[in-house]
């Protein structure tokens, strides 16, 4: 990190970037490929993983990984600055071109309206959707109900949705990343759920990143 870095400036950058988020669908009528993105960490190394699935069958078509030095510390609300570089590097290696990316993180439902999903979408100029396992920002208004979808709001503005993708499980928190509407984002996330509450593209990316991390651990143990 540069000596001139400040958390305040980074937050101001996020707010400025959020003004460029497109909340309208930039998707084709027929989606052919969808990708999931996840990042793992190991001893100063960032492991980026992207998994491309056929949209209809949810079968894996292609995956790519990348390894790079972790150049940004863990700072809550600023995770995108840490995760975008390895994500971009592995996406650039893809031969298949996904029409939309599901990101393990928040998009617009972020204190500065530009989480990992939005930041990445703006950088690669592709439709992205944030799918987080826990709520970071905003409130679900009213009493908890049995509805599958409850909108997440901040000061009366809808910023995302808590979506129950599997009965008996906790919701996932869906928000616009870039170039999608919230309505479309929710539909896509629900379509991509199979056996787990987490959409298949993100699950696959997580599995791939975890496998690479395990390989590093085994190699380190063998060489020590």
**Pairwise CA distance, residues 197 & 7, whole Å:** 33
Instruction: Please write the tens of the pLDDT for every residue from 70-97.
Output: 989 899 999 999 999 999 999 999 999 9
Asked whether 128 and 91 are in contact (CB, 8 A), the reply is no
Alpha helices by DSSP H, listed for the chain, are 7-18, 79-92, 116-124, 182-191, 200-223
Confidence at 168, pLDDT banded by 50, 70, 90: confident
At 34, list the tokens: 């969808």
Contact 108, 175 (CB under 8 A): yes
Radius of gyration of the chain (CA): 17
For 114, left (φ over 0), alpha (ψ -120 to 50), or beta? beta
Please determine, for residue 2, whether its predicted confidence score (pLDDT) is greater than 60. no
pLDDT at 145 over 60: no
Calculate mean pLDDT across residues 96-121. Answer: 97
Backbone phi, psi, residue 147, to 5°: -65, 150
| Phi, psi (degrees; rounded to nearest 5) at 209 | -65, -40
Tokens 């400040």 sit on residue: 6
- Other C-beta atoms within 10 Å of 46: how many? 22
Are 154 and 140 a contacting pair, CB within 8 Å?
A: no
The model scores a pTM over 0.85: yes
d(Cα 106, Cα 158) in Å, to the nearest integer? 14
Each residue of 210-223: pLDDT tens digit? 999 988 776 666 66
């Amino acid at each position: 990190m540069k000596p001139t870095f400040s958390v305040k400036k980074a937050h101001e950058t996020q707010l400025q970037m959020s003004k460029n988020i497109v909340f309208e669908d930039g998707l084709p009528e027929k989606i052919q490929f969808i990708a999931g993105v996840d990042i793992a960490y190991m001893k100063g190394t960032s492991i980026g993983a992207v998994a491309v699935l056929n949209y209809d069958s949810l079968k894996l078509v292609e995956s790519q990984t990348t390894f790079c030095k972790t150049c940004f510390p863990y700072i809550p609300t600023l995770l995108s600055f840490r995760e975008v570089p390895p994500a971009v590097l592995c996406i650039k290696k893809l031969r298949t071109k996904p029409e939309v990316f599901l990101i393990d993180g928040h998009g617009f439902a972020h204190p500065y309206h530009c989480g990992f999903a939005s930041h990445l979408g703006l950088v690669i100029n592709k439709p992205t959707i944030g799918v987080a396992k826990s709520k970071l920002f905003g409130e679900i208004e009213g009493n908890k109900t049995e509805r599958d979808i409850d909108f997440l709001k901040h000061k009366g503005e809808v910023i995302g949705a808590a979506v129950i993708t599997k009965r008996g499980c906790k919701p996932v928190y869906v928000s616009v990343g870039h170039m999608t509407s919230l309505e479309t984002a929710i539909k896509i996330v629900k379509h991509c759920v199979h056996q787990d509450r987490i959409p298949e593209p993100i699950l696959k990316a997580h599995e791939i990143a975890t496998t690479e991390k395990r390989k590093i651990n085994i190699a380190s143990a063998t060489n020590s």
